[in-house]
Amino acid sequence: MNQAKPFDISKRMVWEAYPQVKANRGAAGVDGQSIKEFEIEEVNHLYRLWNRLASGSYFPPPVLRVEIPKAGGKRPLGVPTVSDRIAQTVVKRYLEPLVEPMFHEDSYGYRPRRSAHQA
């Protein structure tokens, strides 16, 4: 291994993912930390997250399970922590340009700017 960190995840990638997560205004996860609370020490939180992602030592925390009403009952929904949503966004933005060219043109599931309705 010729580099200090095994994954090429820059601080910039983490800092750019944060506004995207913040704009979604999601609920607090299992740690109870809201986006407002995350903002209080956002630089420290983002640095710590970047350091763990870049070193390969990041381990996602548990996901909060909440029940949401659906026709005919309730459905479980998982709510990740704010930090984990940022980490997921970083990984998505890192991997998407690498794997997107490998998909068949007629593939629509879970792809950017495509939906099942377009299929």
Please give the biggest Cα pair distance in the chain.
56
Q: Cβ(5)–Cβ(55) under 8 Å? A: yes
The pLDDT assigned to 50 comes to: 94
> Using one digit for the tens of pLDDT, what is the confidence trace for 67-116?
999 988 999 999 999 999 999 999 999 888 888 888 877 777 777 777 77
The pLDDT value recorded for residue 48 is: 96
Residue 6, pLDDT above cutoff 80: no
Can you give the pLDDT at residue 5?
Answer: 59
Q: What is the pLDDT of residues 28-77, one digit of tens each?
A: 999 999 999 999 999 999 999 999 998 889 999 999 999 999 988 999 99
Any idea what the Cα angle at residue 80 is, between residues 24 and 58, rounded to 5°? Answer: 115
Q: Is 43 left (phi over 0), alpha (psi -120 to 50) or beta?
A: alpha
SS3 of the chain: CCCCCCCCCCHHHHHHHHHHHHHHCCCCCCCCCCHHHHHHCHHHHHHHHHHHHHHCCCCCCCCEEEEEEECCEEEEEEECCHHHHHHHHHHHHHHHHHHHHHCCCCCCCCCCCCCCCCC
Query: Has residue 7 got a pLDDT over 80?
Result: no
